[in-house]
Chains A and B, each alone.
Chain A
């Protein structure tokens, strides 16, 4: 294995773990705020009790996030030093500001946990808000850096705005779906809905319904933006072999040895309509760049899987809203589907991140710095690199263990006073 490829794999492992923690670190505090506000205003002890559980989860996730975040900052320093040297004038300030945002999140979460039993509900709700602001702020600053890597025309571009909004809302959506999945699994396992009553799935389902509409609209707008700012990425995602108007949308299929797209379900003109709102819109194809400057077309398969999961999650959310009365009885078949659905949200986030990163290759900064040149010279991580994925699996397991321990003896407490 080439040393730069080994470095990419190593960094990918770390980021692949961290993105899940980041996703939950954004989604859970926001849900904490929403449910705590509801509990406070409606004086609802069951919701208040659920907020306590979310708080425990947030505490565990911050620990895991700090570990993976520290690992990433050190790996970045050592493995991608030329990248940092090139990018520093453009993105240095956002690294600095991100740390402040994370500091606010960590400090206020500690305060939030320690004051849960001593502070009035209104004040406790208010000190929970900076946790969400810090978490989202942290995501915004890091996403600005990623957006600049994708479209380095300027720091503040439409790409920046769309990437921030699309990813932040997607994180919140995936967290909401994951919690729906967890609640369903818990009901199935304990064979009782005392702890997680049906209203919880309904309320989370309602939040997810709003979010999926927002995420879908932002996702579409991102695709329109990518057509003009990162045309090679779009061409690889849609395996569009030639620049053309009336460009087809292809589901499945592949690029053959001669560089021609074949197979799959072809929807004529649909890509032009989606990217430019007209069949006459010209979409740039893979033929516009040299073969060694194209990303792997594996992104096409990843995108198809992503869209399949989007369809599944949409159907799931619609199911929750439509079959409201049926769900009061919490049929097992439905709980099994929502349990699986919970995991799919997490997979969706991973796929979205992989599409962004693999789709940009072979560039670390589009058009400015090749990935191979962004990697530190004279460094070999091949032998030492294998240990880190193993350690991350152990850390992931410990995080899951700590989450399960904090949940195991949790019950709805009707006696909580608000």
Chain B
């Protein structure tokens, strides 16, 4: 049961990290041109989905590791604060840059540099958070609670079936 639980936590986390790294690469590429055309469509389609997957992973972790949290929470404050600050700045810039009425406009490259930097800071702080959580689990010999796993597993199959077609269609559309 514990192995299955970690499958539900780690799989979306890995998917998120992969998409995050790719988005980071695109953000860095945009610094060179100052234009949005480099991978713009990919980000427009997947930003919402990849971040929702991350929240999913965090939620499953919170629910199953609730008893561990009071012990490791003070250590999580700094990296989570950095992650949040980077996320809000990135989100603000994303809305400002990508929801502009003139998408082909050439922006000041400094904006794209800051945008890319928030990705890098976000990625580093996310890794920091994961390391603290893993160390906490190991040093405390913590066994996660799997009571809610049945709901997670039961919800996963219909959610996958419901979301599978739209996700497939969106990604196919992007790579046409």
Contact = CB atoms under 8 A, between A and B. Distances in A.
A82 B70 contact: yes
B35 interface: no
B138 interface: no
A110, A377, A395, A405 pick with most chain B CB within 10 angstroms: A110
A69 interface: yes
A334 interface: no
Nearest to A379: B74
Interface string B39-66: 0000001011101111110111011101
A402 B91 CA distance: 11
A243 interface: no
Contacts of B77: 78, 379, 381, 384
B40 to A, nearest CB: 14
A398 B96 contact: yes
B162 A77 contact: no
A88 B147 CA distance: 9
Contacts of B85: 387-388, 391
Interface stretch (A59-67, A194-202, A344-352): A59-67
A126 to B, nearest CB: 12
B84 A89 contact: no
Interface stretch (A96-104, A151-159, A222-230, A258-266): A96-104
B33 interface: no
B159 interface: yes
B23 to A, nearest CB: 14
A99 B170 contact: no
Interface string B88-106: 1101111110011100000
A64 B91 contact: yes
Contacts of A111: 166, 169-170
Contacts of B69: 77, 81, 84-85, 376
B49, B64, B66, B155 pick with most chain A CB within 10 angstroms: B66
B62 A76 contact: yes
A50 B155 CA distance: 34
A29 to B, nearest CB: 14
B169 A408 contact: no
B83 interface: yes
Given A92-B63, A93-B148, A67 B87 contact: yes
Interface string A102-122: 111011111100110000000
A71 B66 contact: no
A40 B56 CA distance: 35
B66 A85 contact: yes
B74 A398 contact: no
A130 interface: yes
Interface string A294-315: 0000000000000000000000
Interface string A388-415: 1001101101110110011011000000
A22 B81 CA distance: 23
A111 B88 CA distance: 25
B29 interface: no
Interface string B135-164: 000000000010110011001101100110
Contact of B48 (A63, A92, A387): A63
Interface in B8-33: none
Contact of A63 (B91, B162, B166): B91
Contact of A88 (B63, B76, B151): B63
Nearest to A408: B101
Contacts of A127: 166
A93 B73 contact: no
A378 interface: yes
A95 B74 contact: no
A71 B84 CA distance: 6
A110 B66 contact: no
A70 interface: yes
B87 A107 contact: no
A43 B63 CA distance: 48
Nearest to A387: B85
A74 interface: yes
Nearest to A377: B70
B63 A95 contact: yes
B67 interface: yes
B55 A376 contact: no
B63 A395 contact: no
Given A78-B80, A107-B167, A408-B101, A102 B52 contact: yes
Contact of B100 (A64, A76, A106, A405): A405
19 contacts: A60-B99, A71-B87, A73-B55, A77-B62, A77-B80, A78-B77, A78-B80, A81-B73, A85-B70, A95-B62, A103-B159, A107-B166, A108-B166, A110-B170, A376-B69, A384-B77, A394-B92, A398-B91, A409-B101
The 8 tightest CB contacts between A and B, nearest first, are A81-B69, A402-B99, A111-B166, A67-B91, A93-B151, A88-B66, A92-B148, A92-B63
Interface of B: 45, 47-49, 51-56, 58-60, 62-64, 66-67, 69-70, 73-74, 76-77, 80-81, 83-85, 87-89, 91-96, 99-101, 145, 147-148, 151-152, 155-156, 158-159, 162-163, 166-167, 169-170, 173
Interface of A: 60, 62-64, 66-67, 69-71, 73-79, 81-82, 84-85, 87-89, 92-93, 95-100, 102-104, 106-111, 114-115, 127, 130, 376-379, 381, 384, 387-388, 391-392, 394-395, 397-399, 401-402, 405-406, 408-409
